[in-house]
Structure 1
Protein backbone atom coordinates (compact mmCIF):
# COMPACT_ATOMS: atom_id res chain seq x y z
CA UNK A 1 0.00 0.00 0.00
CA UNK A 2 1.17 3.51 -0.80
CA UNK A 3 2.74 5.23 2.23
CA UNK A 4 0.50 8.26 1.77
CA UNK A 5 -2.57 6.04 1.95
CA UNK A 6 -1.28 4.37 5.11
CA UNK A 7 -0.69 7.77 6.70
CA UNK A 8 -4.15 8.93 5.66
CA UNK A 9 -5.72 5.81 7.19
CA UNK A 10 -3.92 6.40 10.47
CA UNK A 11 -5.08 10.03 10.58
CA UNK A 12 -8.68 9.05 9.85
CA UNK A 13 -8.64 6.41 12.58
CA UNK A 14 -7.18 8.95 15.03
CA UNK A 15 -9.87 11.51 14.17
CA UNK A 16 -12.58 8.87 14.47
CA UNK A 17 -11.36 7.89 17.93
CA UNK A 18 -11.38 11.51 19.07
CA UNK A 19 -14.90 12.09 17.78
CA UNK A 20 -16.18 8.94 19.47
CA UNK A 21 -14.98 10.04 22.88
CA UNK A 22 -17.92 11.45 24.81
CA UNK A 23 -17.51 14.38 27.15
CA UNK A 24 -19.29 14.22 30.47
CA UNK A 25 -21.68 17.12 30.88
CA UNK A 26 -20.45 19.84 33.28
CA UNK A 27 -22.29 20.58 36.51
CA UNK A 28 -23.04 24.00 37.99
CA UNK A 29 -23.73 24.43 41.72
CA UNK A 30 -25.48 27.43 43.27
CA UNK A 31 -25.37 27.68 47.05
CA UNK A 32 -27.98 28.87 49.51
CA UNK A 33 -28.24 31.86 51.81
CA UNK A 34 -25.36 32.39 54.23
CA UNK A 35 -23.14 30.04 52.22
CA UNK A 36 -20.50 30.56 49.55
CA UNK A 37 -19.10 28.87 46.49
CA UNK A 38 -16.14 27.41 48.24
CA UNK A 39 -16.42 26.71 51.97
CA UNK A 40 -14.67 23.34 52.40
CA UNK A 41 -17.51 22.03 54.58
CA UNK A 42 -20.29 22.91 52.11
CA UNK A 43 -20.00 23.72 48.40
CA UNK A 44 -16.29 23.00 48.26
CA UNK A 45 -17.03 19.58 49.66
CA UNK A 46 -19.90 18.95 47.23
CA UNK A 47 -17.68 19.91 44.32
CA UNK A 48 -15.05 17.38 45.42
CA UNK A 49 -17.69 14.69 45.93
CA UNK A 50 -18.94 15.06 42.37
CA UNK A 51 -15.42 15.16 40.93
CA UNK A 52 -14.44 12.05 42.89
CA UNK A 53 -17.36 10.07 41.46
CA UNK A 54 -17.34 11.38 37.88
CA UNK A 55 -13.83 11.35 36.49
CA UNK A 56 -13.01 14.25 34.22
CA UNK A 57 -16.13 16.29 35.01
CA UNK A 58 -15.96 20.08 35.13
CA UNK A 59 -17.78 21.50 38.16
CA UNK A 60 -18.45 25.22 38.47
CA UNK A 61 -19.57 26.54 41.85
CA UNK A 62 -21.25 29.94 41.65
CA UNK A 63 -19.52 32.86 43.38
CA UNK A 64 -21.48 36.10 43.38
CA UNK A 65 -18.94 38.87 43.79
CA UNK A 66 -15.17 38.84 43.81
CA UNK A 67 -14.45 37.11 47.12
CA UNK A 68 -15.87 34.54 49.51
CA UNK A 69 -16.83 37.29 51.96
CA UNK A 70 -18.66 39.18 49.21
CA UNK A 71 -20.37 35.98 48.09
CA UNK A 72 -21.82 35.34 51.54
CA UNK A 73 -22.90 38.97 51.99
CA UNK A 74 -24.51 39.03 48.55
CA UNK A 75 -26.51 35.90 49.35
CA UNK A 76 -28.41 38.11 51.81
CA UNK A 77 -28.31 41.60 50.37
CA UNK A 78 -27.64 41.68 46.60
CA UNK A 79 -30.74 42.11 44.47
CA UNK A 80 -31.57 38.69 43.05
CA UNK A 81 -32.21 40.03 39.55
CA UNK A 82 -28.71 41.52 39.53
CA UNK A 83 -27.31 38.17 40.67
CA UNK A 84 -29.08 36.41 37.80
CA UNK A 85 -27.78 38.96 35.30
CA UNK A 86 -24.24 38.44 36.60
CA UNK A 87 -24.48 34.67 36.22
CA UNK A 88 -26.04 34.91 32.75
CA UNK A 89 -22.91 36.77 31.66
CA UNK A 90 -20.48 34.51 33.55
CA UNK A 91 -21.97 31.25 32.29
CA UNK A 92 -21.99 32.49 28.70
CA UNK A 93 -18.35 33.61 28.94
CA UNK A 94 -17.22 30.29 30.43
CA UNK A 95 -15.93 28.12 27.60
CA UNK A 96 -16.32 24.97 29.68
CA UNK A 97 -20.10 25.48 29.74
CA UNK A 98 -20.62 26.29 26.07
CA UNK A 99 -22.48 23.09 25.21
CA UNK A 100 -24.75 23.19 28.25
CA UNK A 101 -24.66 21.78 31.76
CA UNK A 102 -26.53 20.10 34.56
CA UNK A 103 -27.37 22.37 37.49
CA UNK A 104 -27.83 21.69 41.19
CA UNK A 105 -29.42 24.38 43.35
CA UNK A 106 -29.12 24.33 47.11
CA UNK A 107 -31.98 26.10 48.92
CA UNK A 108 -32.43 29.56 47.34
CA UNK A 109 -29.87 28.67 44.69
CA UNK A 110 -32.64 26.45 43.31
CA UNK A 111 -34.97 29.24 42.25
CA UNK A 112 -32.00 31.34 41.13
CA UNK A 113 -30.94 28.62 38.69
CA UNK A 114 -34.54 28.30 37.54
CA UNK A 115 -34.57 32.05 36.90
CA UNK A 116 -31.39 31.65 34.84
CA UNK A 117 -33.09 28.91 32.84
CA UNK A 118 -36.22 30.95 32.21
CA UNK A 119 -34.52 34.26 31.45
CA UNK A 120 -31.26 33.32 29.73
CA UNK A 121 -30.57 29.60 29.26
CA UNK A 122 -27.56 30.32 27.04
CA UNK A 123 -25.79 27.97 27.51
CA UNK A 124 -28.73 25.71 28.33
CA UNK A 125 -29.46 23.69 31.45
CA UNK A 126 -30.03 19.99 30.72
CA UNK A 127 -31.11 18.54 34.09
CA UNK A 128 -32.10 20.96 36.86
CA UNK A 129 -31.91 19.51 40.36
CA UNK A 130 -33.24 21.57 43.26
CA UNK A 131 -32.52 20.66 46.86
CA UNK A 132 -34.87 22.38 49.30
CA UNK A 133 -35.72 25.17 46.86
CA UNK A 134 -38.38 27.79 47.65
CA UNK A 135 -40.12 27.59 44.28
CA UNK A 136 -43.36 29.17 45.45
CA UNK A 137 -41.47 31.40 47.84
CA UNK A 138 -41.78 31.50 51.62
CA UNK A 139 -44.23 32.99 54.06
CA UNK A 140 -42.26 33.13 57.27
CA UNK A 141 -38.65 33.01 58.38
CA UNK A 142 -37.05 30.39 60.64
CA UNK A 143 -36.12 31.17 64.21
CA UNK A 144 -32.54 30.16 63.47
CA UNK A 145 -30.36 32.56 61.48
CA UNK A 146 -28.33 30.71 58.86
CA UNK A 147 -25.38 33.08 59.03
CA UNK A 148 -22.50 32.66 61.42
CA UNK A 149 -22.27 36.45 61.45
CA UNK A 150 -24.54 37.98 64.10
CA UNK A 151 -24.35 41.41 62.45
CA UNK A 152 -25.84 40.03 59.25
CA UNK A 153 -28.67 38.40 61.20
CA UNK A 154 -29.51 41.70 62.87
CA UNK A 155 -29.46 43.52 59.53
CA UNK A 156 -31.99 41.02 58.17
CA UNK A 157 -34.27 41.56 61.16
CA UNK A 158 -34.01 45.35 60.86
CA UNK A 159 -34.92 45.29 57.18
CA UNK A 160 -37.89 43.00 57.74
CA UNK A 161 -39.13 45.37 60.44
CA UNK A 162 -39.40 48.05 57.73
CA UNK A 163 -41.91 45.88 55.84
CA UNK A 164 -41.22 43.02 53.45
CA UNK A 165 -42.82 44.75 50.46
CA UNK A 166 -41.26 48.16 50.99
CA UNK A 167 -39.32 48.98 47.81
CA UNK A 168 -35.99 49.38 49.63
CA UNK A 169 -36.41 45.98 51.28
CA UNK A 170 -37.45 44.30 48.03
CA UNK A 171 -34.41 45.74 46.30
CA UNK A 172 -31.88 44.80 48.97
CA UNK A 173 -33.02 41.82 51.08
CA UNK A 174 -32.85 38.52 49.23
CA UNK A 175 -35.42 36.52 51.30
CA UNK A 176 -37.93 39.34 50.82
CA UNK A 177 -37.62 38.88 47.07
CA UNK A 178 -39.07 35.38 47.27
CA UNK A 179 -41.63 36.20 49.98
CA UNK A 180 -45.21 35.33 49.03
CA UNK A 181 -47.82 36.73 51.40
CA UNK A 182 -50.72 34.35 50.99
CA UNK A 183 -52.94 36.66 53.07
CA UNK A 184 -52.21 39.69 50.87
CA UNK A 185 -51.91 38.14 47.44
CA UNK A 186 -52.65 41.32 45.49
CA UNK A 187 -49.84 43.18 47.26
CA UNK A 188 -47.51 40.29 46.51
CA UNK A 189 -48.37 40.43 42.81
CA UNK A 190 -47.86 44.18 42.72
CA UNK A 191 -44.65 44.51 44.72
CA UNK A 192 -42.68 41.26 44.50
CA UNK A 193 -39.58 41.98 42.40
CA UNK A 194 -38.53 38.37 41.83
CA UNK A 195 -40.60 35.30 42.70
CA UNK A 196 -43.89 36.61 41.28
CA UNK A 197 -42.05 37.32 38.04
CA UNK A 198 -40.29 34.00 37.51
CA UNK A 199 -43.51 32.17 38.44
CA UNK A 200 -45.38 34.16 35.76
CA UNK A 201 -47.96 34.96 38.44
CA UNK A 202 -49.09 38.27 36.97
CA UNK A 203 -51.81 38.52 34.33
CA UNK A 204 -49.33 39.23 31.53
CA UNK A 205 -47.31 36.05 30.99
CA UNK A 206 -43.77 35.90 29.64
CA UNK A 207 -43.74 33.32 26.85
CA UNK A 208 -39.92 33.13 26.92
CA UNK A 209 -40.05 31.77 30.47
CA UNK A 210 -42.38 29.00 29.33
CA UNK A 211 -40.35 28.16 26.23
CA UNK A 212 -37.07 27.96 28.13
CA UNK A 213 -38.47 26.02 31.07
CA UNK A 214 -39.99 23.25 28.96
CA UNK A 215 -36.61 22.80 27.26
CA UNK A 216 -35.33 21.05 30.40
CA UNK A 217 -34.67 17.34 30.11
CA UNK A 218 -35.51 16.66 33.77
CA UNK A 219 -36.63 18.80 36.71
CA UNK A 220 -35.77 17.08 39.98
CA UNK A 221 -37.45 18.52 43.10
CA UNK A 222 -36.11 17.39 46.47
CA UNK A 223 -38.18 18.06 49.60
CA UNK A 224 -36.85 17.62 53.13
CA UNK A 225 -39.61 16.06 55.19
CA UNK A 226 -38.54 17.63 58.49
CA UNK A 227 -37.53 21.01 57.10
CA UNK A 228 -37.90 23.85 59.63
CA UNK A 229 -36.13 26.46 57.49
CA UNK A 230 -38.40 26.65 54.42
CA UNK A 231 -41.90 27.80 55.42
CA UNK A 232 -43.92 26.07 54.14
CA UNK A 233 -41.71 23.14 53.15
CA UNK A 234 -44.22 22.19 50.45
CA UNK A 235 -42.76 25.07 48.42
CA UNK A 236 -39.88 22.69 47.66
CA UNK A 237 -42.37 20.70 45.53
CA UNK A 238 -44.10 23.81 44.13
CA UNK A 239 -46.87 23.60 46.73
CA UNK A 240 -47.89 26.52 48.95
CA UNK A 241 -50.53 27.94 51.24
CA UNK A 242 -53.98 28.28 49.74
CA UNK A 243 -54.56 31.94 48.81
CA UNK A 244 -56.14 33.67 51.79
CA UNK A 245 -54.77 31.15 54.29
CA UNK A 246 -51.54 30.65 56.19
CA UNK A 247 -52.47 27.14 57.32
CA UNK A 248 -54.12 25.18 54.49
CA UNK A 249 -51.73 23.79 51.90
CA UNK A 250 -52.20 23.29 48.17
CA UNK A 251 -50.15 20.64 46.43
CA UNK A 252 -48.32 21.51 43.24
CA UNK A 253 -51.13 20.01 41.18
CA UNK A 254 -53.75 22.14 42.96
CA UNK A 255 -52.08 25.51 42.34
CA UNK A 256 -53.09 27.88 39.57
CA UNK A 257 -49.42 27.95 38.51
CA UNK A 258 -49.75 24.27 37.63
CA UNK A 259 -53.37 24.10 36.47
CA UNK A 260 -53.03 27.08 34.12
CA UNK A 261 -49.43 26.10 33.32
CA UNK A 262 -47.90 29.54 33.79
CA UNK A 263 -44.28 28.40 33.32
CA UNK A 264 -44.60 24.96 31.72
CA UNK A 265 -44.48 22.92 34.92
CA UNK A 266 -47.61 20.98 34.01
CA UNK A 267 -46.25 20.35 30.52
CA UNK A 268 -43.04 18.87 31.94
CA UNK A 269 -44.94 16.83 34.52
CA UNK A 270 -47.38 15.33 32.05
CA UNK A 271 -44.43 14.33 29.88
CA UNK A 272 -42.75 12.50 32.76
CA UNK A 273 -39.98 15.06 33.16
CA UNK A 274 -40.70 16.18 36.74
CA UNK A 275 -39.17 13.97 39.41
CA UNK A 276 -40.24 14.46 43.03
CA UNK A 277 -37.90 13.09 45.67
CA UNK A 278 -38.11 13.40 49.44
CA UNK A 279 -35.80 12.54 52.27
CA UNK A 280 -36.08 12.70 56.04
CA UNK A 281 -34.05 15.29 57.88
CA UNK A 282 -34.00 19.04 58.23
CA UNK A 283 -33.02 21.53 55.55
CA UNK A 284 -30.23 20.24 53.24
CA UNK A 285 -29.50 17.31 55.53
CA UNK A 286 -28.46 14.32 53.45
CA UNK A 287 -25.58 11.85 53.30
CA UNK A 288 -22.98 11.48 50.57
CA UNK A 289 -24.37 8.05 49.75
CA UNK A 290 -27.88 9.45 49.34
CA UNK A 291 -26.63 12.18 47.02
CA UNK A 292 -24.59 9.78 44.89
CA UNK A 293 -27.41 7.26 44.62
CA UNK A 294 -30.34 9.63 44.10
CA UNK A 295 -28.82 12.66 42.37
CA UNK A 296 -25.34 12.12 40.97
CA UNK A 297 -25.72 8.71 39.34
CA UNK A 298 -29.12 9.21 37.65
CA UNK A 299 -28.96 12.93 36.78
CA UNK A 300 -25.34 14.16 36.65
CA UNK A 301 -23.70 11.18 34.96
CA UNK A 302 -24.56 12.02 31.35
CA UNK A 303 -22.61 13.16 28.33
CA UNK A 304 -22.80 15.94 25.78
Structure 2
Protein backbone atom coordinates (compact mmCIF):
# COMPACT_ATOMS: atom_id res chain seq x y z
CA UNK A 1 0.00 0.00 0.00
CA UNK A 2 2.80 2.42 0.91
CA UNK A 3 4.52 1.74 -2.42
CA UNK A 4 1.30 2.45 -4.33
CA UNK A 5 0.89 5.72 -2.44
CA UNK A 6 4.47 6.71 -3.28
CA UNK A 7 3.96 5.95 -6.97
CA UNK A 8 0.72 7.96 -7.03
CA UNK A 9 2.47 10.81 -5.25
CA UNK A 10 5.24 10.77 -7.85
CA UNK A 11 2.66 10.89 -10.65
CA UNK A 12 0.93 13.85 -9.01
CA UNK A 13 4.25 15.65 -8.57
CA UNK A 14 5.14 15.08 -12.23
CA UNK A 15 1.72 16.32 -13.38
CA UNK A 16 2.13 19.47 -11.29
CA UNK A 17 5.61 19.89 -12.71
CA UNK A 18 4.29 19.64 -16.26
CA UNK A 19 2.34 22.82 -15.63
CA UNK A 20 4.71 24.82 -13.42
CA UNK A 21 8.32 23.72 -13.87
CA UNK A 22 10.17 25.48 -16.66
CA UNK A 23 13.32 24.24 -18.45
CA UNK A 24 14.84 27.73 -18.85
CA UNK A 25 15.68 30.51 -16.42
CA UNK A 26 17.53 33.82 -16.30
CA UNK A 27 18.72 35.41 -19.51
CA UNK A 28 19.16 39.03 -18.44
CA UNK A 29 22.97 38.97 -18.26
CA UNK A 30 24.58 38.65 -21.71
CA UNK A 31 28.11 38.97 -20.25
CA UNK A 32 28.29 35.34 -19.10
CA UNK A 33 28.03 32.23 -21.22
CA UNK A 34 24.74 30.33 -21.04
CA UNK A 35 24.70 27.10 -19.05
CA UNK A 36 23.12 23.83 -20.21
CA UNK A 37 22.21 21.15 -17.66
CA UNK A 38 21.36 17.48 -18.15
CA UNK A 39 19.89 15.48 -15.27
CA UNK A 40 20.57 11.92 -14.24
CA UNK A 41 18.58 8.69 -14.01
CA UNK A 42 15.30 9.00 -12.14
CA UNK A 43 15.28 12.80 -12.25
CA UNK A 44 13.76 15.49 -14.47
CA UNK A 45 14.88 18.79 -15.88
CA UNK A 46 13.33 21.25 -13.52
CA UNK A 47 12.04 19.96 -10.18
CA UNK A 48 12.67 22.65 -7.54
CA UNK A 49 14.15 20.07 -5.16
CA UNK A 50 16.78 19.01 -7.74
CA UNK A 51 17.84 20.70 -10.98
CA UNK A 52 15.28 23.48 -10.67
CA UNK A 53 17.11 24.56 -7.53
CA UNK A 54 20.45 24.36 -9.35
CA UNK A 55 19.05 26.53 -12.13
CA UNK A 56 17.97 29.20 -9.65
CA UNK A 57 21.35 29.05 -7.93
CA UNK A 58 23.24 29.53 -11.21
CA UNK A 59 21.01 32.43 -12.23
CA UNK A 60 21.65 34.07 -8.88
CA UNK A 61 25.42 33.53 -8.86
CA UNK A 62 25.85 34.65 -12.50
CA UNK A 63 23.62 37.69 -11.93
CA UNK A 64 21.01 36.66 -14.46
CA UNK A 65 22.87 34.25 -16.73
CA UNK A 66 20.78 32.13 -19.08
CA UNK A 67 20.28 28.52 -17.97
CA UNK A 68 18.64 25.74 -19.93
CA UNK A 69 17.97 22.36 -18.34
CA UNK A 70 17.35 19.68 -20.96
CA UNK A 71 13.82 18.28 -20.99
CA UNK A 72 13.79 15.19 -23.16
CA UNK A 73 10.58 14.72 -25.11
CA UNK A 74 9.02 18.08 -24.41
CA UNK A 75 7.31 17.38 -21.07
CA UNK A 76 8.16 16.22 -17.57
CA UNK A 77 6.60 12.76 -17.86
CA UNK A 78 8.50 11.88 -21.04
CA UNK A 79 11.63 13.41 -19.56
CA UNK A 80 11.45 11.12 -16.54
CA UNK A 81 10.77 8.00 -18.62
CA UNK A 82 13.55 8.81 -21.08
CA UNK A 83 16.16 8.43 -18.36
CA UNK A 84 15.40 4.70 -18.32
CA UNK A 85 13.87 3.73 -21.63
CA UNK A 86 14.89 6.08 -24.50
CA UNK A 87 18.19 5.11 -26.11
CA UNK A 88 20.99 7.62 -25.41
CA UNK A 89 21.67 8.01 -29.13
CA UNK A 90 18.11 9.24 -29.61
CA UNK A 91 18.36 11.48 -26.57
CA UNK A 92 21.64 13.01 -27.75
CA UNK A 93 20.23 13.60 -31.23
CA UNK A 94 17.17 15.30 -29.71
CA UNK A 95 19.30 17.51 -27.47
CA UNK A 96 21.64 18.48 -30.32
CA UNK A 97 18.67 19.70 -32.35
CA UNK A 98 17.28 21.62 -29.38
CA UNK A 99 20.60 23.35 -28.72
CA UNK A 100 21.05 24.24 -32.37
CA UNK A 101 17.64 25.90 -32.43
CA UNK A 102 18.30 27.97 -29.31
CA UNK A 103 19.65 31.29 -30.56
CA UNK A 104 20.91 32.23 -27.09
CA UNK A 105 23.47 29.43 -27.32
CA UNK A 106 24.84 30.38 -30.72
CA UNK A 107 28.08 31.90 -29.40
CA UNK A 108 28.80 29.01 -27.07
CA UNK A 109 27.77 27.59 -23.72
CA UNK A 110 29.05 25.76 -20.68
CA UNK A 111 27.51 22.42 -19.72
CA UNK A 112 26.96 20.50 -16.50
CA UNK A 113 25.91 16.85 -16.55
CA UNK A 114 24.59 15.03 -13.51
CA UNK A 115 25.37 11.31 -13.26
CA UNK A 116 24.48 9.67 -16.62
CA UNK A 117 23.77 13.15 -17.97
CA UNK A 118 27.53 13.64 -17.79
CA UNK A 119 28.44 11.07 -20.42
CA UNK A 120 25.42 12.10 -22.48
CA UNK A 121 26.69 15.69 -22.59
CA UNK A 122 30.15 14.41 -23.51
CA UNK A 123 28.50 12.68 -26.45
CA UNK A 124 26.94 16.03 -27.38
CA UNK A 125 30.38 17.65 -27.31
CA UNK A 126 31.83 14.91 -29.52
CA UNK A 127 28.97 14.60 -31.99
CA UNK A 128 27.54 18.12 -32.19
CA UNK A 129 30.17 20.89 -32.26
CA UNK A 130 27.58 23.54 -33.13
CA UNK A 131 26.79 25.47 -31.02
CA UNK A 132 30.20 25.17 -29.36
CA UNK A 133 30.49 23.74 -25.86
CA UNK A 134 33.23 25.57 -23.94
CA UNK A 135 33.53 23.88 -20.55
CA UNK A 136 32.04 20.51 -19.66
CA UNK A 137 31.50 19.63 -16.00
CA UNK A 138 30.41 16.09 -15.16
CA UNK A 139 29.17 15.41 -11.64
CA UNK A 140 29.39 11.68 -11.01
CA UNK A 141 29.43 10.87 -14.75
CA UNK A 142 30.20 7.24 -15.64
CA UNK A 143 32.74 7.82 -18.41
CA UNK A 144 34.00 4.24 -18.42
CA UNK A 145 30.59 2.81 -17.67
CA UNK A 146 29.34 0.86 -14.66
CA UNK A 147 29.46 -2.72 -13.50
CA UNK A 148 26.73 -2.78 -10.88
CA UNK A 149 23.31 -1.20 -10.26
CA UNK A 150 22.90 -1.21 -6.48
CA UNK A 151 20.06 1.31 -6.23
CA UNK A 152 17.28 2.75 -8.37
CA UNK A 153 15.03 4.23 -5.68
CA UNK A 154 12.67 6.09 -7.99
CA UNK A 155 11.28 2.81 -9.39
CA UNK A 156 9.44 -0.01 -7.67
CA UNK A 157 11.42 -2.86 -6.13
CA UNK A 158 10.15 -5.32 -8.74
CA UNK A 159 11.19 -3.02 -11.60
CA UNK A 160 14.64 -2.57 -10.07
CA UNK A 161 15.01 -6.33 -9.74
CA UNK A 162 13.93 -6.79 -13.36
CA UNK A 163 16.46 -4.22 -14.59
CA UNK A 164 19.23 -5.83 -12.55
CA UNK A 165 18.43 -9.28 -13.97
CA UNK A 166 18.53 -7.93 -17.53
CA UNK A 167 21.85 -6.22 -16.94
CA UNK A 168 23.39 -9.34 -15.47
CA UNK A 169 22.14 -11.78 -18.09
CA UNK A 170 21.28 -10.35 -21.50
CA UNK A 171 22.73 -6.86 -21.31
CA UNK A 172 24.36 -6.92 -24.76
CA UNK A 173 21.40 -8.38 -26.63
CA UNK A 174 19.83 -6.13 -29.26
CA UNK A 175 16.53 -5.93 -27.41
CA UNK A 176 17.99 -4.90 -24.05
CA UNK A 177 20.35 -2.40 -25.66
CA UNK A 178 17.41 -0.83 -27.52
CA UNK A 179 15.09 -0.59 -24.56
CA UNK A 180 17.16 0.03 -21.42
CA UNK A 181 19.36 3.11 -21.15
CA UNK A 182 21.61 1.72 -18.42
CA UNK A 183 22.48 -1.28 -20.59
CA UNK A 184 24.15 1.01 -23.11
CA UNK A 185 26.88 1.98 -20.65
CA UNK A 186 27.09 -1.35 -18.79
CA UNK A 187 30.78 -2.26 -18.99
CA UNK A 188 31.53 -5.86 -18.10
CA UNK A 189 35.30 -6.14 -17.51
CA UNK A 190 35.01 -9.94 -17.53
CA UNK A 191 33.70 -9.88 -21.10
CA UNK A 192 35.48 -6.98 -22.78
CA UNK A 193 34.87 -8.20 -26.32
CA UNK A 194 31.15 -8.65 -25.66
CA UNK A 195 31.07 -5.14 -24.23
CA UNK A 196 32.87 -3.51 -27.15
CA UNK A 197 30.79 -5.30 -29.75
CA UNK A 198 27.50 -5.12 -27.87
CA UNK A 199 27.47 -1.67 -26.28
CA UNK A 200 25.48 0.62 -28.54
CA UNK A 201 26.50 3.88 -26.87
CA UNK A 202 29.48 3.96 -24.52
CA UNK A 203 31.86 1.88 -26.64
CA UNK A 204 31.14 4.26 -29.51
CA UNK A 205 31.76 7.57 -27.73
CA UNK A 206 34.88 6.09 -26.10
CA UNK A 207 36.26 5.21 -29.56
CA UNK A 208 36.52 1.54 -28.66
CA UNK A 209 34.99 0.28 -31.91
CA UNK A 210 37.12 2.35 -34.27
CA UNK A 211 38.99 5.64 -34.07
CA UNK A 212 36.52 8.38 -34.90
CA UNK A 213 38.70 11.41 -35.59
CA UNK A 214 35.62 13.65 -35.60
CA UNK A 215 34.95 12.72 -31.96
CA UNK A 216 38.57 13.43 -31.00
CA UNK A 217 38.66 16.76 -32.79
CA UNK A 218 35.42 17.95 -31.19
CA UNK A 219 36.29 16.79 -27.67
CA UNK A 220 39.60 18.63 -27.89
CA UNK A 221 37.77 21.87 -28.69
CA UNK A 222 36.68 22.05 -25.06
CA UNK A 223 38.48 24.67 -23.00
CA UNK A 224 38.06 22.49 -19.93
CA UNK A 225 36.74 19.04 -19.18
CA UNK A 226 36.02 18.89 -15.44
CA UNK A 227 35.27 15.51 -13.85
CA UNK A 228 33.87 15.42 -10.30
CA UNK A 229 34.13 12.15 -8.36
CA UNK A 230 32.11 11.47 -5.22
CA UNK A 231 34.65 9.87 -2.93
CA UNK A 232 32.08 7.92 -0.90
CA UNK A 233 29.88 6.96 -3.82
CA UNK A 234 27.75 3.85 -3.25
CA UNK A 235 25.80 4.15 -6.51
CA UNK A 236 28.41 4.20 -9.27
CA UNK A 237 30.43 0.99 -9.44
CA UNK A 238 33.31 1.49 -9.70
CA UNK A 239 33.34 5.11 -8.54
CA UNK A 240 36.64 5.60 -10.40
CA UNK A 241 34.64 5.64 -13.64
CA UNK A 242 33.82 9.24 -12.72
CA UNK A 243 37.51 10.06 -13.33
CA UNK A 244 37.66 8.02 -16.56
CA UNK A 245 39.14 4.94 -14.87
CA UNK A 246 37.89 1.36 -14.77
CA UNK A 247 38.78 -2.18 -13.76
CA UNK A 248 41.74 -3.79 -15.42
CA UNK A 249 40.35 -6.11 -18.09
CA UNK A 250 39.54 -9.65 -16.97
CA UNK A 251 38.63 -8.94 -13.33
CA UNK A 252 36.55 -6.57 -11.22
CA UNK A 253 38.82 -5.69 -8.29
CA UNK A 254 41.88 -3.77 -9.46
CA UNK A 255 41.48 -0.32 -11.04
CA UNK A 256 43.66 0.31 -14.07
CA UNK A 257 45.70 3.55 -13.97
CA UNK A 258 44.12 6.30 -16.04
CA UNK A 259 47.06 6.68 -18.44
CA UNK A 260 47.17 2.95 -19.16
CA UNK A 261 43.56 2.68 -20.33
CA UNK A 262 42.62 2.05 -23.93
CA UNK A 263 40.27 5.02 -23.90
CA UNK A 264 43.06 7.35 -22.74
CA UNK A 265 44.83 6.42 -25.95
CA UNK A 266 41.82 6.22 -28.24
CA UNK A 267 40.47 9.66 -27.32
CA UNK A 268 44.02 11.09 -27.14
CA UNK A 269 43.36 12.40 -23.68
CA UNK A 270 47.10 12.88 -23.14
CA UNK A 271 46.98 15.91 -25.41
CA UNK A 272 44.13 17.42 -23.40
CA UNK A 273 46.01 16.60 -20.20
CA UNK A 274 49.20 18.24 -21.45
CA UNK A 275 47.20 21.34 -22.38
CA UNK A 276 45.75 21.56 -18.88
CA UNK A 277 42.21 20.92 -20.09
CA UNK A 278 41.49 17.94 -17.84
CA UNK A 279 40.43 18.81 -14.30
CA UNK A 280 39.78 16.16 -11.64
CA UNK A 281 37.84 17.20 -8.55
CA UNK A 282 36.90 15.03 -5.58
CA UNK A 283 34.16 15.71 -3.09
CA UNK A 284 33.32 13.85 0.10
CA UNK A 285 29.88 12.30 0.10
CA UNK A 286 27.66 9.82 -1.69
CA UNK A 287 26.43 10.11 -5.26
CA UNK A 288 25.50 13.71 -6.19
CA UNK A 289 25.68 14.74 -2.53
CA UNK A 290 27.05 18.24 -2.99
CA UNK A 291 26.36 21.27 -0.86
CA UNK A 292 25.38 24.70 -2.10
CA UNK A 293 28.60 26.11 -0.67
CA UNK A 294 30.75 23.52 -2.49
CA UNK A 295 28.97 24.19 -5.78
CA UNK A 296 29.44 27.95 -5.44
CA UNK A 297 33.12 27.60 -4.53
CA UNK A 298 34.14 24.97 -7.11
CA UNK A 299 31.71 25.08 -10.02
CA UNK A 300 30.40 28.63 -10.31
CA UNK A 301 33.86 30.13 -11.07
CA UNK A 302 34.10 27.82 -14.07
CA UNK A 303 30.82 29.21 -15.36
CA UNK A 304 32.08 32.78 -15.12
CA UNK A 305 35.00 32.08 -17.46
CA UNK A 306 34.32 33.11 -21.07
> For the superposition of Structure 1 and Structure 2, which TM-score range results when normalised by the shorter chain?
0.7 to 0.9
What root-mean-square deviation, in Å, do the aligned CA atoms of Structure 1 and Structure 2 show? 1.5
1:269-298 CA deviation, whole Å, 9 max, x = no partner?
Answer: 11111110001100000100000100112x
Aligned to 2:55: 47
Structure 1 stretches lacking a partner, 5+ long: 1-20
Quote the offset at 1:224 in angstroms: 0.5
Aligned to 1:182: 189
Quote the offset at 1:160 in angstroms: 3.3
Structure 1 residues 34 and 243, CA gap change in structure 2 (3 angstroms): same
The answer as to 2:72 corresponding to 1:64 is yes
Aligned to 1:146: 153
Quote the offset at 1:266 in angstroms: 1.6
TM-score, with length taken from structure 2: 0.87
Aligned to 1:168: 175
The answer as to 2:243 corresponding to 1:237 is yes
Quote the offset at 1:67 in angstroms: 1.5
Quote the offset at 1:264 in angstroms: 3.0
Query: Contact conserved, 1:27 with 1:103, CA < 8 A, in 2?
Result: yes
Within 5 A, what are the aligned runs for 1:1-304?
A: 23-142=31-150, 144-149=151-156, 152-153=159-160, 156-157=163-164, 159-160=166-167, 163-202=170-209, 204-258=210-264, 260=265, 262-297=266-301, 299-303=302-306
1:221-270 CA deviation, whole Å, 9 max, x = no partner?
Answer: 10000001000000000000000111111132221221x2x123221111
Structure 1 runs of 4+ off > 2 angstroms? 148-162
Cα separation, 1, equivalents of 2:30 and 2:102: 20
Aligned to 1:11: none
Query: Contact conserved, 1:162 with 1:169, CA < 8 A, in 2?
Result: no
Aligned to 1:4: none
Query: Contact conserved, 1:102 with 1:128, CA < 8 A, in 2?
Result: yes
State the SS of the aligned residue for 1:211.
helix
Quote the offset at 1:214 in angstroms: 0.5
Structure 2 stretches lacking a partner, 5+ long: 1-28
Query: Contact conserved, 1:200 with 1:206, CA < 8 A, in 2?
Result: yes
Cα separation, 2, equivalents of 1:63 and 1:151: 27
Quote the offset at 1:159 in angstroms: 3.8
Cα separation, 1, equivalents of 2:62 and 2:182: 34
Quote the offset at 1:44 in angstroms: 0.4
Cα separation, 1, equivalents of 2:163 and 2:214: 33
1:70-105 CA deviation, whole Å, 9 max, x = no partner?
Answer: 111110010110000001100000111111100000
1:100-138 CA deviation, whole Å, 9 max, x = no partner?
Answer: 100000000000000001011210110000000000001
State the SS of the aligned residue for 1:180.
coil
Query: Contact conserved, 2:149 with 2:164, CA < 8 A, in 1?
Result: no
State the SS of the aligned residue for 2:46.
coil
Query: Contact conserved, 2:167 with 2:186, CA < 8 A, in 1?
Result: no
State the SS of the aligned residue for 2:299.
helix
TM-score, with length taken from structure 1: 0.88
Quote the offset at 1:153 in angstroms: 3.1
Aligned to 1:7: none
1:152-177 CA deviation, whole Å, 9 max, x = no partner?
Answer: 53552464365111111011111100
